[in-house]
Structure 1
């Protein structure tokens, strides 16, 4: 890994662990083994390096999601594969956690990749939900709810100190979703709330 990559990866780890304020230039230099002169050769300052680190985390999240969404099986299989991805739950989401950081949210440049990532994820899930349900459900609203469950699951799991809480949240969301798309007859009869009648 070259110097620039070490700086970005170190900043990513520290942002995830400590947030923006706790990610000082000295901490980044100590974690990366890169001196101050080299750091400022590659980045104008902490904000520029943080932006590169957040962009990298966002790219990684999208790449992992895309791999699951492009996998084999039905649309429901691919949605399930995404929600069942291995995650470091007790560390929280490296992107979602930034929404709790007032310094990141107050800076439009740092906030942008966070907002764009969640918009992208919601859009991709909505596309798959429309495919899975043949437009029997409000795909956009349901996708938003699923992203909220995933992110809220991190919060509940961290509060409880247990990964099991996150797993239960995902199990519950997927179970509810399966009810929406599994039975065309139920959907036609409107037995499930939120179903669009044909």
Structure 2
């Protein structure tokens, strides 16, 4: 293995360890020593790749944000919907119903509850950007559904997108509070019932009026 490969591996281990510790202990509880121990890396290795804890934490938060966006885009882009692009409703439903570790919570949403991350403009930036991207992506899909006649023309794309994001984040909270993933599913299915396309069968067999 080359020295470049070793360096890359050490850097990745440090980022992964920081992500885990931020989740478990928060920013204040994530010490450089704990990161080094978790990553199996020495102090010299850590400071070779990163200027310090804030720099490493930012790299870890950016990685979490990137992975969150990629996971959402796989379903919002239709890659897993009926083998094709899917309708607006199908893509939103796929996003809401995608496999999640519900009781563990949202990795990005969890960061919004860390006061030290929120108070630091640099650390908070990837979190804000991810949530802004998600709301914008969802609003665009709702707008497509309105334009095609799938959704009611009076539906507000931005407001609906915000409601979708709020349902997901609130669903995590309800699930963790109750100790049951069913609470998340109930919130998701309730929202999908409200978004049901015009003219489709309702839960009791009736059709939503066009």
Q: How does 1:131-142 map to 2 (within 5 A)?
A: 131-134=144-147, 135-142=153-160
- State how far apart, in whole Å, the 2-side matches of 1:149 and 1:163 are: 14
Match of 1:183 in 2: 199
Deviation track 1:170-195 (CA, whole Å, cap 9, x = no partner) reads: 111111111xx3239835xxxxxxxx
* Structure 2, gaps ≥5 residues long: 1-7, 79-83, 148-152, 201-207
* Structure 1, gaps ≥5 residues long: 188-198
TM-score by length of 2: 0.84
Match of 2:181 in 1: 163
Q: How does 1:24-35 map to 2 (within 5 A)?
A: 24-35=31-42
Q: How does 1:5-84 map to 2 (within 5 A)?
A: 5-71=12-78, 72=84, 73-84=86-97
How many residues align structurally?
Answer: 185
- State how far apart, in whole Å, the 2-side matches of 1:156 and 1:76 are: 24
Kindly report the root-mean-square deviation, in angstroms, between the aligned alpha carbons of the 2 structures: 1.5
Deviation track 1:37-86 (CA, whole Å, cap 9, x = no partner) reads: 10111111111101000000000011111111111211111111111111
- State how far apart, in whole Å, the 2-side matches of 1:26 and 1:174 are: 46
Secondary structure of the 1:90 match is coil
Secondary structure of the 2:106 match is coil
Q: Which of the two has greater helix per residue?
A: 1
- State how far apart, in whole Å, the 2-side matches of 1:141 and 1:108 are: 26
Secondary structure of the 2:155 match is coil
Q: Runs in 1 of length 4+ with deviation above 6 angstroms?
A: none
